[in-house]
């Protein structure tokens, strides 16, 4: 199995890389990892040159080609949150995917990427008041956005060993309760139990 990592953190021993290493340790021993560190690779941002309005692909040649080679089975995107978004060099890389939309819209062609699994790691900072927050994401009925609900998980659980693999279907049960924080009211589940049946990254 080949895993392509797109790392948006500038800190080689930072929080994102810490979690990344833990996630990597969950893959089988013969997994081949390839990492693009966006702070080192100087991937150019899209400059709206409009080449892709008239021709297939993107005219800029840089390490973005490694991603577009599409020879991997899993893509891991990892980034600290900066102003609630991925870091600027990672956003430069993501902006370069706009040619897929332009080719599709103007040329009626589309670059076929093979189906693959994905992992998204986002780290953030802030005062957590010593509380660990768990959230399950519930894709909503429109499949457009995702909603989540916080829950307070019963018992002690070691990150990452006691957690389900990314992408696992989970069931969370608990008691719905309103709590106040910094003058706002929130809903969460307390006394929650978390169960799951299947793991996908095997
Ligand atoms: C410029 C800047 C903007 C940030 N913006 C956010 C933010 O919007 N939300 C958040 O939760 N954390 C924010 N943070 C905190 C980082 O996301 C957090 O410290 C992260 O764990 C750093 O990851 P790293 O050690 O892999 O670089 C910001 C940090 C910096 C330097």
Q: Clarify whether residues 15 and 111 are in a common domain.
A: yes
Confirm whether 201 is domain-assigned.
no
pLDDT of 63 over the 90 cut: yes
Residues 6+ apart with CB under 8 A from 18: none
Q: Clarify whether residues 15 and 99 are in a common domain.
A: yes
- Region 175-182: mean pLDDT is 90
- pLDDT recorded at residue 147: 64
Q: Clarify whether residues 145 and 108 are in a common domain.
A: no
Domain of 114, CATH number, reads: 3.40.50.360
Our count of domains for the chain comes to: 2
**Atom 10 of ligand 1, nearest CA residue:** 124
147 Cβ closer than 6 Å to some ligand 1 atom: no
How far is 169 from 146, CA to CA, in rounded Å?
15
Between residues 141 and 175, which one has the greater pLDDT? 175
With contact defined as beta carbons under 8 Å apart, do 121 and 43 qualify? no
Tell me the DSSP string of 81-144: -BTTB--HHHHHHHHTTHHHHHIIIIIS--PPPPP-EEEEEEE--S--TTPPPEEEEEE-TTSS
Q: Clarify whether residues 90 and 169 are in a common domain.
A: no
Confirm whether 100 is domain-assigned.
yes
Q: List, for residues 136-146, the tens digit of each pLDDT value.
A: 666 555 455 55
- Region 173-193: mean pLDDT is 89
Confidence of residue 202 (pLDDT cuts 50, 70, 90): very low
pLDDT of 122 over the 80 cut: yes
The least confident of 40-44, 47-51, 73-77, 192-196 is 192-196
Q: Clarify whether residues 46 and 84 are in a common domain.
A: yes
- pTM of the shown model: 0.72
What domain range is 165 assigned to?
A: 134-196
83 Cβ closer than 6 Å to some ligand 1 atom: yes
13 Cβ closer than 6 Å to some ligand 1 atom: no
- pLDDT recorded at residue 110: 79
Q: Clarify whether residues 21 and 104 are in a common domain.
A: yes
Q: Clarify whether residues 64 and 160 are in a common domain.
A: no
- pLDDT recorded at residue 185: 87
124 Cβ closer than 6 Å to some ligand 1 atom: yes
Centre of ligand 1 to C-alpha 85, Å, is: 9
């Amino acid at each position: 199995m080949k895993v392509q990592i797109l790392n948006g953190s500038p800190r080689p021993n930072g929080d994102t890389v810490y979690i990344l290493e833990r996630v990597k340790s969950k893959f089988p021993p013969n997994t081949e990892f390839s990492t693009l560190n966006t702070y080192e690779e100087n991937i150019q941002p899209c400059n709206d040159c409009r080449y892709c309005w008239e021709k297939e692909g993107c005219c800029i040649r840089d390490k973005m080609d490694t991603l577009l080679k599409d020879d991997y089975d899993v893509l891991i995107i990892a980034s600290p949150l900066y102003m609630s978004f991925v870091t600027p060099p990672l956003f430069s890389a993501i902006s370069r995917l706009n040619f897929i939309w332009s080719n599709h819209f103007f040329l009626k062609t589309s670059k076929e990427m093979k189906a693959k699994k994905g992992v998204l790691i986002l780290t953030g900072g802030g005062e957590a008041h010593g509380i660990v927050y768990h959230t399950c994401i519930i894709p909503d009925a429109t499949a457009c956005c995702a909603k989540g609900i916080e829950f307070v998980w019963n018992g002690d659980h070691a990150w990452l060993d006691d957690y389900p693999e990314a992408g696992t279907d989970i069931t969370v049960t608990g008691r719905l309760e309103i709590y106040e924080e910094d003058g706002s009211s929130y809903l969460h589940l307390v006394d929650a139990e978390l169960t799951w049946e299947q793991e996908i990254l095997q």
